[in-house]
A and B are shown apart, each in its own frame.
Chain A
Amino acid sequence: MTLTELFLLFLSSIFVHNILLSRFLGCCPFMGVSSKLKTAQGMGAAVVFVIVLASLMTWLTYNYLLVPLHLEYLYTLSFILVIAALVQFVELALKKLNPVLYKSLGIFLPLITTNCAVLGVAVLNMNEGYGLAAALVNALGSSLGFLLAISLMAGIRERIEENEGIPDCLQGLPMALITAGLMSIAFMGFTGIIK
């Protein structure tokens, strides 16, 4: 892939194929931890960190272990194994080496072990047949897209909390779901910008 293509891939994975609003992967934290901007950003940062690392590891696993042994069908199992072990390892290492970062990522780090966005990006990289550079760029773009979407959502939800004109039956989660739908429609506007 040329540099231009990589750049276009980066942009399209953030906006056009936003992992939350177009691919609908990892929607659980999108609803669960988007009520406060600060926690949402903490979650987003943890996701960026883990997705990029996990994509690197799963790409290596797939291309240097599974493909040579003709065991491609084992990708789900081995990816989950790699991701879970990796997150555990990173958590242990961070606790010792960088307590400040460990504290700011907090509970979100172990939580995203089971986030489907992490597995989703790894599987996407595999299905599209990306090289290592493209896989990493796609991982970085997708996770930044996650950070962008969840931060926007949290900002909107903080304002909605202040709005007393919302009917009782729509307050809280129902309004958040409607907001998510509208945001998804808004992001559809990016479709076609990059082919």
Chain B
Amino acid sequence: MDIMHVMITPLTLMGVMGLIFGVLLAIASIVFRVHQDNRISLIRAALPGANCGGCGYPGCDGYASGVVNDGASVNKCSVGGSAVAQRIAEIMGVEAGEHVPVRSFLRCKGTCEASPRQLVYDGIDDCRSAVTIPGGSPNSCPFGCVGLGTCTKVCVFGAITMGDDGLPHVDLNKCVGCGTCVAVCPKAMLTLVPVTADVIVACNSHWKGTMVKDVCSAGCIGCTLCAKKCPKQAITIDHDLAVIDQSKCIKCGLCAKVCPAKCIKVGESVKVIEKSA
């Protein structure tokens, strides 16, 4: 009798309850089955499955249903690029359209050498923590890269590594432009740029020239030399920082040559033009 009350009854009760609920849920899942559009599973199969969230949807499943149900455009997946966009377009029966892939770009050249680290930050090893100290950064330049490598930790593609110079380096072959590092960077140092953009100002400082020179030898001082040199007037100075309008830029590379701080980065396509000229 005692065993009955202490052991058997509770075990039976919980077992029966669990069984009943299990059976009920199993029945419910059949009765209330919602017929899913099979294009969703087709698109899901075509997606790379990185679940990076670069498309703006929570994971690949979210994007697949977004394409079918919410009419999201088919070329949002930056990991798969144009090949995946083409597949999704076929499934949906629409045109894929022009797709310019984007890549992550670090807008800072403040290496340990160019911008000496004057403060030893001893807090939590994360940029997002380091920027909460007074002054906004452990480094002298409050606009520059903090250099604790939070972006390297969040990149699921292993495209960002910390260099010995104190700055993260983006491996353009591995980077898919998902934007995770852009979202996590507390200084907005990383931006997404089209892979066709090859002349970019690698500085984020809006300080006056003299103040920039005090803290960094590779910072934009707003001297306007590049803006004057540019044959297409593609460069404007926004609060002592040069900004290149990529739609006007012809990748001649003249601005990078005259820049006294050498903070305008040029890529491969510019060098090709220089050689052929």
Q: Is A89 an interface residue, CB under 8 A from the partner?
A: yes
Point out the residue from B5, B24, B33 that lies within 8 Å of A89, measured CB to CB.
B24
Distance of B3 from chain A, by nearest CB (Å): 15
Known: A97-B32, A168-B132. A88 touches B14 (CB 8 A): no
Q: Is A69 an interface residue, CB under 8 A from the partner?
A: yes
Alpha-carbon gap, A78 to B28, bound state (A): 21
Alpha-carbon gap, A83 to B136, bound state (A): 47
Point out the residue from A70, A78, A96, A99 that lies within 8 Å of B17, measured CB to CB.
A78
Alpha-carbon gap, A78 to B20, bound state (A): 13
Residues of A within 8 A of B18 (CB): 81
Interface size of B as a range: 20 to 34
Does the CB pair A74–B25 fall under 8 Å?
Answer: no
Known: A69-B9, A71-B9, A168-B131. A92 touches B29 (CB 8 A): yes
Does the CB pair B13–A69 fall under 8 Å?
Answer: yes
Question: SS class of chain A's interface: helix, strand, loop or mixed?
Answer: helix
Alpha-carbon gap, A176 to B258, bound state (A): 49
Does the CB pair A81–B14 fall under 8 Å?
Answer: yes
A146-180 Cβ-contact flags toward B at 8 Å (1 or 0): 00000000000000000000001100000000000
Q: Is A132 an interface residue, CB under 8 A from the partner?
A: no
Point out the residue from B13, B25, B133, B136 that lies within 8 Å of A71, measured CB to CB.
B13
Of residues 1 through 47 on chain B, the ones whose CB sits less than 8 Å from some CB of chain A are 5, 9-10, 13-14, 17-18, 21, 24-25, 28-29, 31-34
Distance of B123 from chain A, by nearest CB (Å): 11
Residues of B within 8 A of A71 (CB): 9-10, 13
Point out the residue from A78, A82, A95 that lies within 8 Å of B32, measured CB to CB.
A95
Alpha-carbon gap, A80 to B60, bound state (A): 32
Q: Is A186 an interface residue, CB under 8 A from the partner?
A: no
Q: Is A93 an interface residue, CB under 8 A from the partner?
A: yes
Distance of A195 from chain B, by nearest CB (Å): 38
Does the CB pair B13–A85 fall under 8 Å?
Answer: no
Does the CB pair A85–B21 fall under 8 Å?
Answer: yes
Does the CB pair B9–A96 fall under 8 Å?
Answer: no
Does the CB pair A70–B32 fall under 8 Å?
Answer: no
Does the CB pair B136–A168 fall under 8 Å?
Answer: yes
Alpha-carbon gap, A168 to B130, bound state (A): 11
Alpha-carbon gap, A89 to B33, bound state (A): 12
Of residues 50 through 106 on chain A, the ones whose CB sits less than 8 Å from some CB of chain B are 65, 69-71, 74, 77-78, 81-82, 85, 88-89, 92-93, 95-97, 99
Residues of A within 8 A of B25 (CB): 85, 88-89, 92
Residues of B within 8 A of A95 (CB): 32, 34
Does the CB pair A74–B32 fall under 8 Å?
Answer: no
Known: A65-B13, A81-B14, A85-B25. A92 touches B132 (CB 8 A): no
Interface centre among A65, A85, A88 (most CB of B within 10 A): A85
Residues of A within 8 A of B31 (CB): 96
Distance of A53 from chain B, by nearest CB (Å): 14
Does the CB pair B13–A74 fall under 8 Å?
Answer: yes
Point out the residue from A70, A77, A92, A169 that lies within 8 Å of B14, measured CB to CB.
A77
Alpha-carbon gap, A82 to B14, bound state (A): 11
Does the CB pair B32–A93 fall under 8 Å?
Answer: yes
Residues of B within 8 A of A92 (CB): 25, 28-29, 32
Distance of A19 from chain B, by nearest CB (Å): 26
Some 29 contacts from A to B, beta carbons below 8 A apart, are A65-B13, A65-B17, A69-B9, A69-B13, A71-B10, A71-B13, A74-B13, A77-B14, A78-B14, A81-B17, A81-B18, A81-B21, A82-B17, A82-B21, A85-B21, A85-B25, A88-B25, A89-B24, A89-B25, A89-B28, A92-B28, A92-B32, A93-B28, A93-B32, A95-B32, A96-B32, A96-B33, A97-B32, A168-B131
Binding site for B on A (CB under 8 A): 65, 69-71, 74, 77-78, 81-82, 85, 88-89, 92-93, 95-97, 99, 168-169
